[in-house]
A and B are shown apart, each in its own frame.
Chain A
């Protein structure tokens, strides 16, 4: 992995290198495009600072809402504030990571509409990497920072009987959670080849998903909980592992070992998502403009 990163930093030589795998090519291209966007953002520094603050604040408001709720109650759905902070911190950080890396994928629909996707197709670089790095927004670090702060608050205030397994659970959850959200982003982008201006549907699952996961599963209707466990497996982003750490029962019937499944679920989500992406790309017909 270190090698990928080294090649991705934009210092490498001529392109393309046929012996390199598609994945490496993609990562390297991603890095180059990302660096370009970072440089361009930095041209307007005042604006950049404000947008970083904005991304920090927009998520901070989510947590502020929860704090305001807790100024009136001691528990929500049977969960205390630090417990909800753990759910919140895990889901917000995982989503923030994913949003930083893939958050611009909802622009695919626009590119299909205005025909600029064609430009990406003629370049000798994987299209997914180009789309993912399109308008790479470093400001999204604000979101991750906020998620980590709440997570830190939860870990400091919670009284958990830590075991090595529970400790390992946290980084595993963040990485797998980001990957699960990532699969949703890719699947959503694939859907935009069909419905070109329906990027908001994707928001329901990404932004909506992270909002849902910030609250304990006990407050939602059982059918909704089943839906996000078995149909769109967002529950594996934070609920199941966090409930294991908190020694809590999951409201619908799921064995406890399911808490260890997020990495497998992430892989399982990426298979259909990448197939959908390929199908979408193959089905793409240029507008010709």
Chain B
């Protein structure tokens, strides 16, 4: 357990060293936040209460999206490129020899990364958004903590999906294509482009049932006070359920991959 805490702290520190990159990222998140906030304002001007949100809740949703984009790695950008590269070069063989659990090792590092991105790239855009727009920030500390739990579960689900897909590199050798498609699915089905509540009919039902809704839609709804009491328990169960299923699937694929692994020379 201590080992994984150290790995997580390492993940945090590793991203904390890129200060210029973080500042540049904050700038980008803020610019996108403004652009999307204006498009949402135009949309909610036409249809107040769309998707059950009032304008200020919709704007809060926009800035939550910018704040969580990197933490939940909705478009990818966490550990997976490195893992794919290690599989491609054969360095993965070294990792498999280590007396640690491969999946937990990468998970710990990714949690550290997510924690840094939540603070480094989440807080400032959110504050700037709150200064420029009228946001619906929760008053109760309970809601804030409930939100953080939901974000944590979202990060784990995000990790589990990307881990599963990164392992496809054992078969495909070059995982770039598969990773790209997953990052796209993450972008669209997390609700980053538009809240999933606004997706019509069957598309909406499917989108809300897919694991990616754990990355933004569910945490945002917790933040906006849409899930309370049993509803909150159900939301957690949804996220936690996906996390468990996907982590287990990752373990199975990992076992299959290591049985057939042909280490590339080196």
Contact = CB atoms under 8 A, between A and B. Distances in A.
B21 A197 contact: yes
A46 B38 contact: no
Interface string A211-241: 1100100111100100000000000000000
B31 interface: yes
B28 A219 contact: no
Given A47-B176, A64-B188, A219-B42, A208 B31 contact: yes
Contacts of A73: 43, 46-47
Interface stretch (B154-162, B194-202, B212-220, B240-248): B194-202
Contacts of A61: 184, 187-188, 193
Interface string A176-214: 000000000000000000011111110110001001100
A195 B24 contact: yes
Interface of B: 18, 20-21, 23-25, 27-28, 31-32, 34-36, 38-39, 41-43, 46-47, 50, 172-178, 180-181, 183-184, 187-188, 193-194, 198-200
Top 8 A-B residue pairs of the complex, sorted by shortest distance between their CB atoms? A50-B177, A47-B177, A54-B180, A198-B24, A219-B42, A200-B24, A204-B31, A197-B21
A76 B38 CA distance: 11
Contacts of A50: 176-178, 180-181
B170 to A, nearest CB: 14
A108 to B, nearest CB: 14
Contacts of B47: 72-73
A199 B228 CA distance: 41
What is the predominant secondary structure among interface residues of chain A facing chain B? helix
A221 B32 CA distance: 14
Query: Chain B interface secondary structure, helix, strand, loop or mixed?
Result: helix
Given A195-B24, A197-B21, A65 B193 contact: yes
8 contacts: A58-B184, A69-B198, A72-B198, A198-B23, A200-B27, A201-B28, A204-B28, A219-B41
A53 B39 CA distance: 27
Contact of B43 (A55, A72, A195, A200): A72
A51 B39 contact: no
A68 B199 contact: yes
A244 interface: no
Nearest to B178: A50
Contacts of A196: 20
Contacts of A44: 172-174, 176-177
A69 B47 CA distance: 10
A162 to B, nearest CB: 28
B217 to A, nearest CB: 14
